């Protein structure tokens, strides 16, 4: 990287700009394609996110309020896009905090994904990490502001991770429903990452000998027009691509884009630049919902367009949305410096607070919709309290208290070359733990905690809670599971032998060892009633599985607790079929594998990440619901009584679910053996999707994501 690659930060000194990059601490060496200025931490000062192309790390400069900045990317972000191009900022989920999107070049089309240069390989990535580079992934990143300074990338969950060779993202409420939508321009005039061309180019010298010039070689670069993307915001719970439905499906090679009210009707229109062609000008013809436009005007020709002003729109129940005037957005583009607020069917905005860059504010109330307001800085006379605002919608239910409880445990993972061994893996399966379980294991009336280990991490640990006012967690004297040199993925305290104390089932997993291996043998530890455990040998039927979870219920209705163990992967064989799960029937403290006899669907069920027993159809029999990560479904096996199950019924989800849970409606309850107060109406909730059931119905119906 040379000095010519350095980006510069210029201070406006009234009649000239002064380069203060070094003094301000904004020294970025890289291929910067955009920068997104916003008050990300709500302290009244504009911060700066810098997007760098081609593996160079992005930077997140926090404004110190004294003219200097500090790069705190590593502290507040887990990763960035690899080739960060355009960017934009808006309050995506209406929580009063500014969120960020950066775009990259991951194709949604399987054909284009395979024909174009893909993400970095494992070795390349690890070399970068070891040399101080940050984690980067070749995809769009939707960095959601958590309100505590930290961000979480929800691009896959929200459905916006892939949009091809993308340039300019624009966040704006195009349909005025009260949630900002997302337009992404994309395309490249010549696909320089086309793998066939790269192979062809590698033979350039040979071609040169045949008289082929450099210009002739470049003309052989493939060119393909593709669609831009328009993602409709699903009430802050995700996005859906609606480009064709809204008239934005023209084929092109698009770069910059901008929004503004071109025809004076109050709606934001869209302008898109195209390489080698005329630009697109899209008129917004939406008239379904109401809107409010706000312009800010600085006094005495200073900051005439109110750049850096922050607007807080509040409805009648106190819910807030945050807007910022930053016309520079997308990629090498500038939009109209007007805040456009979608109002849906509402006829007025209850309250609008305008905060100027100098910290002064003004408040307007009961504002009629479908108009353009002009706000003057001279009317801002009240200092704004950002600290008070940041607590506007926070209900603190939990406080981190590990120090008081003296929980002395640190989870440590060993470096394992998952992707080198199995290049088709979508995720690493050696870093998914640890499993945990809690129960009163020594009968003193306090809750104790078991935390599973990762391979070569020093072993799993049982912590006993002291029965006093402090309740410190002290490691138990006996730890028979310390010898387990494998990932502990699932753990369950339950009464296995009917002696009224809590025994421990340990489900192991991961993929560090070749399959099959006795390292993946599950363990059952018997409790003596005082919190002392010993391995209960001969009680399990030799369960060998790289599992994800274990759950218990009396599914055969004989008064003791049986088990379901969910298999996750077959190590070293991705994406091989035949991953087995287990139904284990409890016969007086000794368990029998009854999977084939009672639920043959579970023998080769695939990647089950989580499971739960409940009565979903109100027939008084336990059903089994599982989350199938590999085929993006949730399945229900209806119970027939006496431990038998009907064939499974699959329900599609919006993505590969990792977990499943149940929720009970306030319906009448029914008591069943081994199960407490099951309701006659229960819903299944998966991590990326939801399916639900109606009272008294044997079937389930899919419901929208969220």
Q: Return the SS3 of 441.
A: coil
Element (H or E) spanning 257, and its range? strand 254-260
Average pLDDT over every residue of 547-566: 95
d(Cα 244, Cα 255) in Å, to the nearest integer? 19
377 has a pLDDT exceeding 80: yes
What is the sign, positive or negative, of the torsion defined by CA atoms of 32, 37, 41, 45? positive
Average pLDDT over every residue of 507-511: 93
263 has a pLDDT exceeding 60: yes
394 has a pLDDT exceeding 80: no
Task: Tell which wins on pLDDT, 125 or 327.
Answer: 327
118 has a pLDDT exceeding 90: no
Q: pLDDT tens, 532-542?
A: 999 999 999 99
What is the sign, positive or negative, of the torsion defined by CA atoms of 662, 663, 669, 675? positive
Q: Which residues pair with 679 in a beta bridge?
A: 669
701 has a pLDDT exceeding 50: no
pLDDT above 90 covers a percentage of the chain that reads 63
Q: How confident is the model at residue 423 (pLDDT cuts 50, 70, 90)?
A: confident
Average pLDDT over every residue of 646-666: 81
Q: What 8-state DSSP symbol labels residue 535?
A: E
The pLDDT assigned to 20 comes to 95
371 has a pLDDT exceeding 60: yes
678 has a pLDDT exceeding 70: no
The pLDDT assigned to 257 comes to 97
Average pLDDT over every residue of 589-612: 92
Q: pLDDT tens, 515-524?
A: 889 999 999 9
Q: pLDDT tens, 65-104?
A: 999 999 999 999 999 999 999 999 999 999 999 999 999 9
Please give the structure tokens belonging to residue 78.
Answer: 């887990």
Q: How confident is the model at residue 5 (pLDDT cuts 50, 70, 90)?
A: low
Q: How confident is the model at residue 167 (pLDDT cuts 50, 70, 90)?
A: very high
The pLDDT assigned to 206 comes to 59
The pLDDT assigned to 676 comes to 29
Average pLDDT over every residue of 222-226: 85
What is the sign, positive or negative, of the torsion defined by CA atoms of 686, 688, 689, 690? positive
Average pLDDT over every residue of 457-462: 87
8 Å CB contact between 425 and 381: no
The pLDDT assigned to 659 comes to 87
Q: What is the pTM of this model?
A: 0.79
Could you give the C-alpha distances from 327 to 239, 334, 337, 459, 525, in angstroms and in order? 23, 5, 5, 54, 63
Average pLDDT over every residue of 592-612: 91
Average pLDDT over every residue of 444-449: 96
Q: How confident is the model at residue 641 (pLDDT cuts 50, 70, 90)?
A: confident
The pLDDT assigned to 706 comes to 31
The pLDDT assigned to 624 comes to 95
8 Å CB contact between 94 and 392: no
Number of helices (H) and strands (E) in the chain: give both, helices first: 13, 55
604 has a pLDDT exceeding 80: yes
Cis amide linkage into residue 575, ω under 30° from 0: yes
Please give the structure tokens belonging to residue 547.
Answer: 């599992």
Q: How confident is the model at residue 675 (pLDDT cuts 50, 70, 90)?
A: very low
* Mean pLDDT of the chain, nearest integer: 87
4 has a pLDDT exceeding 60: no
695 has a pLDDT exceeding 60: no
**Where does residue 287 rank: exposed (0-12), middle (13-18), buried (19+ CB within 10 A)?**
exposed
Element (H or E) spanning 584, and its range? strand 582-587
Task: Tell which wins on pLDDT, 686 or 265.
Answer: 265
The pLDDT assigned to 208 comes to 60
The pLDDT assigned to 204 comes to 59
The pLDDT assigned to 28 comes to 77
The pLDDT assigned to 393 comes to 64
Q: How confident is the model at residue 407 (pLDDT cuts 50, 70, 90)?
A: confident
Dihedral (Cα; 361, 367, 373, 379), 10-degree rounding: -30
Q: How confident is the model at residue 573 (pLDDT cuts 50, 70, 90)?
A: confident
The residue whose two tokens read 């790289």 is 546
pLDDT above 70 covers a percentage of the chain that reads 91
The pLDDT assigned to 685 comes to 56
Cis amide linkage into residue 572, ω under 30° from 0: no
Least confident interval from 215-219, 240-244, 479-483, 515-519:
215-219
Q: Highest mean pLDDT: which of 134-138, 163-167, 201-205, 209-213? A: 163-167
Least confident interval from 290-299, 394-403, 669-678:
669-678
d(Cα 124, Cα 55) in Å, to the nearest integer? 10
Average pLDDT over every residue of 564-592: 90
Q: How confident is the model at residue 669 (pLDDT cuts 50, 70, 90)?
A: very low
Q: What 8-state DSSP symbol labels residue 58?
A: P
Please give the structure tokens belonging to residue 376.
Answer: 């003057």
492 has a pLDDT exceeding 80: yes
């Amino acid at each position: 990287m040379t000095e010519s690659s350095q980006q510069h930060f210029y201070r406006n000194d009234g009649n000239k700009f002064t380069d203060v990059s070094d003094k301000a601490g904004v020294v970025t060496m890289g291929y910067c394609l955009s920068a997104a200025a916003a008050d990300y931490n709500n302290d009244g000062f504009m911060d700066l996110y810098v997007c760098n192309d081609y593996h160079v790390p992005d930077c997140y400069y926090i404004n110190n309020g004294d003219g200097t900045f500090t790069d705190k990317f590593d502290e507040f972000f887990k990763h960035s896009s690899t080739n960060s191009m355009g960017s934009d900022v808006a309050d995506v989920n209406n929580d009063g905090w500014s969120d960020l999107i950066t775009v990259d070049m991951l194709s949604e089309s399987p054909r284009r994904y395979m024909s174009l240069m893909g993400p970095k390989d494992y070795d390349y990535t690890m070399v970068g990490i070891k040399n101080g580079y940050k984690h980067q992934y070749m995809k769009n990143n939707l960095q959601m502001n958590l309100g505590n300074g930290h961000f979480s990338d929800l691009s896959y969950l929200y459905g916006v991770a892939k949009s091809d060779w993308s340039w300019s993202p624009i966040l704006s409420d195009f349909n005025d429903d009260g949630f900002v939508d997302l337009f992404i321009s994309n395309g490249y005039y010549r696909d320089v990452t086309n793998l066939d061309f790269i192979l062809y180019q590698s033979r350039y010298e040979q071609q040169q000998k045949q008289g082929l010039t450099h210009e002739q070689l470049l003309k052989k670069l493939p060119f393909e027009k593709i669609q831009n993307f328009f993602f409709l915001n699903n009430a802050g719970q995700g996005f859906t691509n609606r480009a064709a439905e809204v008239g934005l499906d023209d084929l092109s090679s698009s770069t910059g884009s901008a929004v503004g009210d071109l025809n004076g009707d109050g709606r934001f229109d869209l302008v898109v630049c195209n390489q080698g062609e005329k630009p697109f000008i899209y008129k917004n013809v939406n008239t379904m919902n109401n809107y409010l436009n706000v312009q800010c005007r600085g006094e005495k020709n200073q900051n005439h367009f109110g750049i850096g002003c922050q607007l807080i729109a509040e409805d009648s129940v106190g819910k807030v949305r945050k807007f910022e005037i930053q016309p520079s957005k997308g990629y090498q583009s500038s939009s109209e410096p007007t805040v456009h607020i979608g109002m849906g069917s509402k006829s007025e905005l209850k309250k609008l607070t305008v905060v100027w860059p100098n910290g002064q504010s003004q408040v307007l109330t009961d504002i009629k919709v479908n108009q353009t307001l002009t706000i003057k800085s001279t009317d801002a006379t009240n200092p704004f309290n950002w600290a008070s605002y940041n607590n506007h919608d926070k209900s603190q239910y939990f406080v981190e208290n590990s120090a008081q409880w003296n929980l002395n445990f640190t989870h440590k993972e060993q470096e394992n070359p998952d992707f080198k061994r199995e290049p088709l893996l979508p995720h690493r399966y050696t870093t998914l733990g640890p499993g945990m379980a809690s129960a009163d294991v020594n009968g003193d009336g306090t809750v104790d905690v078991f935390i599973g280990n990762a391979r070569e991490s020093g072993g799993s640990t049982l912590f006993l809670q002291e029965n006093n006012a402090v309740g410190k967690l002290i490691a138990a004297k006996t730890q028979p599971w310390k010898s387990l040199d494998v990932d502990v993925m699932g753990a369950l305290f339950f009464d296995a032998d009917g002696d009224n104390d809590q025994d421990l089932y340990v489900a192991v997993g991961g993929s560090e060892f070749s399959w099959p291996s006795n390292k993946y043998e599950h363990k059952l530890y018997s409790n003596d009633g005082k919190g002392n455990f010993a391995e209960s040998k001969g009680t399990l039927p030799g369960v060998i599985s790289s599992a994800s979870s274990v759950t218990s219920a009396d599914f055969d209705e004989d008064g003791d607790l049986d088990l379901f163990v969910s298999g996750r992967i077959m190590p070293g064989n991705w994406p091989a079929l035949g991953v087995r799960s287990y139904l284990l029937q409890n016969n007086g403290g000794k368990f029998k594998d009854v999977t084939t006899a009672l639920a043959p669907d579970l023998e080769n069920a695939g990647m089950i990440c989580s499971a739960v027993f409940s009565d979903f159809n109100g027939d008084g029999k336990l059903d089994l619901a599982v989350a199938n990560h590999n085929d993006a479904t949730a399945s229900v096996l209806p119970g027939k009584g006496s431990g038998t199950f009907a064939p499974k019924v699959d329900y599609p989800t919006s993505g590969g679910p990792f977990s499943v849970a149940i929720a009970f409606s306030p319906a009448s309850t029914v008591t069943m053996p081994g199960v407490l107060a099951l309701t006659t109406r229960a819903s299944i909730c998966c991590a990326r999707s939801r399916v639900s059931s109606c009272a008294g119905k044997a079937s389930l119906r899919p419901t929208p994501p969220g």
